[in-house]
Amino acid sequence: MELLEKIKDKKAKIGIIGLGYVGLPLGLEFAGKGFDVLGFDLDERKIKFLKEGKSYIKHINSEKIKKAVSDGKLNAISDFSKISGMDAIIICVPTPLNEHREPDMSYVEGTAITIAKYLRIDQLITLESTTFPGTTEEILLPLFEKAESAGNNGFKVGKDFYLAFSPEREDPNNPKYSTSTIPKVIGGVTQKCLEAAKALYDQIIVETVTVSSPRAAEATKLLENIYRSVNIALVNELKMVFDRMDIDIWEVIYAASTKPFGYTPFYPGPGLGGHCIPIDPFYLTWKAREFEINTKFIELAGEINTYQPHYVVEKAMEVLNKFKKALNGSKVLILGASYKRDIDDMRESPSLKLIEIFNERGAIVDYSDPYIPTLPKTRKYNFDMKSIELSDSSVREYDLVVLSTDHTDFDYNMIGDNAKLILDTRNAFEKNNLKSKNIYKA
Ligand SMILES: NC(=O)c1ccc[n+]([C@@H]2O[C@H](COP(=O)([O-])OP(=O)(O)OC[C@H]3O[C@@H](n4cnc5c(N)ncnc54)[C@H](O)[C@@H]3O)[C@@H](O)[C@H]2O)c1
């Protein structure tokens, strides 16, 4: 296979479609290893940033981008006809849910239709977007087999082109792991497809793990995320039960974590956030219906996790009530808008849901987040809000401060000293050795 030689000699041209949280670091890894990388995106703003050697994702260093661009190893473009010049094409486009909580495959399908326009002999395509088992073989494969350039005879997979699924595993801003140090699962449509995809990823990833089919690889990613969703739901449920019993869930989790086997800690919070955990499990739920199976665990976990922001607001009312105050008319400050500590990603963030419910209940709501100066419009929300600068006097203005995201940069001592009342959904104040009568947990 000529492609294998090109990959081994680092002569293969790598096309990355979708330059977001997954595609950009992946492109940088290939560029860092000496491959020529061309990124494709519909978002002209991202292309402009990359061409100028600038990052648009907080935890991705501009220096790395600048170097890859000035070395001539990384470029970005919105002209998709250049796909035909690529040897390997990696798809990293979004896979959200639509308003009926069903898979929105329009990005993946749209990308596959575009690739099919330009597909040529000996190209490898891998899909990294999280999706339901069957996507690669049921959606991508038929489009590529009937690619325009194939003529009437069509292309044969494993002979004319190669196709595989390899899910992205990312833990944004985790200093211990990056794209290249996280083992990667790969499933090829044929043995030759697997061989090509493995050769490609072996160039940049510490360990590749092969499975028997793209379906098995698609299911692996879903298992990983469903496992987290279900376990987070379990501790969220226990949090609510233990609270009634006057037991602190955090104390219990820390104690249980001392068991050296058979227990992995998960932590409660104000609700699920991010692009993966609140969304991916429902890709399986949707597909399972085709096989007349109800995914009860997934649905139940979804129900409990979705309820968490409502639980936090109920707790807020309870706490204010202790001090003879109503939520209606109270000033509430939400700390943290991103879905996770120390990152600038607010997709599906429970803080947004909190703002919505607090508003609905008549509270006067502000937020503060050092990484999110204004709240951009999202698919669901359009808040016209700016982050509040935290100071002794600004914190004192609020009837209640709700800690939603436990950013390291927050000055917990200052907030603890000045806030009238605090509702902590992450146990952040206690972790910073602050315990006081005005700090409650939710
Ligand atoms: N972010 C994570 O931590 C993470 C981890 C594992 C898996 N994933 C999965 O990876 C996929 C991508 O996620 P992400 O977080 O990188 O998303 P993202 O929104 O950050 O990036 C996607 C990019 O694709 C671009 N795009 C959309 N449609 C396109 C098209 N037709 N052609 C070219 N570009 C297009 C968008 O402009 C955007 O830049 C999703 O399926 C997600 O579930 C994400």
Residue 172 has what pLDDT?
81
User: How confident is the model at residue 108, as a pLDDT?
Assistant: 98
- Counting atoms of ligand 1 from 1, which one is nearest the CA of 19? 39
Q: What is the pLDDT of residue 46?
A: 97
Q: What does the DSSP assignment read for 266-278?
A: ----S---SSSTT
pLDDT tens string 376-433:
888 789 998 999 999 999 999 999 999 999 999 999 999 999 999 999 999 999 999 9
- From the alpha carbon of 24, which atom of ligand 1 is closest? 16
Task: Give the model confidence (pLDDT) of 297-340 as tens digits.
Answer: 999 999 999 999 999 999 999 999 999 999 999 999 999 999 99
pLDDT at 116: 96
pLDDT of residue 425: 98
Output Rg (C-alpha) for the chain, integer angstroms.
24
The reply to whether 276 belongs to the active site is yes
pLDDT at 79: 97
- Tell me the CA–centroid distance for residue 128 and ligand 1, in Å: 9
Q: Which residues of 392-431 are buried (b: 16+ CB within 10 A; e: fewer)?
A: eeebeebbbbbbbbbbeebebeebbebbbbbbbbbbbbbe
**Token output for 168:** 């992205």
- Give ligand 1 pocket residues (Cβ under 6 A): 17-23, 40-43, 46, 92-95, 107, 110-111, 128-130, 168, 170, 172, 275-276
129 CA: nearest ligand 1 atom: 41
Catalytic residue of the set 89, 276, 304, 400: 276
Per-residue pLDDT at 357 = 98
Only one residue has tokens 């499990």, namely 281
Angle at 299 between CA 229 and CA 402, to 5 degrees: 55
- The pLDDT of residue 287: 97
pLDDT in tens, 182-207: 999 999 999 999 999 999 999 999 99
How far, in Å, from the CA of 390 to the mean position of ligand 1? 33
Residues of the chain with pLDDT under 70: none
| Ligand 1 centroid distance, CA of 36 (Å) | 21
pLDDT given for residue 194 in this prediction: 98
